[in-house]
Amino acid sequence: MKPDERDAVAERLMNGLEPPQTPPDLRSKVLAAAHARMAAEPVTNIWSTIWNNRGVRLAWAGAAALLLAGHVFLVARNGAVPSRVDPALVVENHVDEQFVDMLRPAPISDNVQPVVGLFAAASSLTDLDLEGNPS
């Protein structure tokens, strides 16, 4: 069968037959409902209101721009977040940064520094007290 060609047997089978007509009273019922819907106020949601109103659209764009500017300002003032892994260490040892993060031991307190492994500071081995705290 060629593309978009109708099957000849089905064509013969249904030849002279047609789908039933719509009920006669349906026309007035449908058109009344459709005209009523056309005459009614269009259903709007908050997003279409924003999109269709120039003032609200400008206010929304201004708020978004303000938030973006505030974010840029705060990041620039505070500087970039310091990396927890010494980049030199990563470069020298060819260690993946995420892998290093996974291996980093959780500190017991802010005063306690790790004493073993790659993370021990060069001077910490000599300056620890008996409890392992840096002096």
Q: What are the residues binding another protein (CB under 8 A)?
A: 1-11, 13-14, 16-23, 26-27, 29-31, 33-35, 37-38, 42-43
The string of DSSP codes covering 20-71 is: PPPPTTHHHHHHHHHHHHHHSPPP--HHHHHHH-HHHHHHHHHHHHHHHHHH
How near is the Cβ of 14 to another protein at its closest, in Å? 6
How near is the Cβ of 15 to another protein at its closest, in Å? 10
How near is the Cβ of 100 to another protein at its closest, in Å? 50
Return all residues near 84 (Cβ < 8 A) that are at least 6 apart: 101, 104
Closer residue to another protein, CB minimum distance, 33 or 61: 33
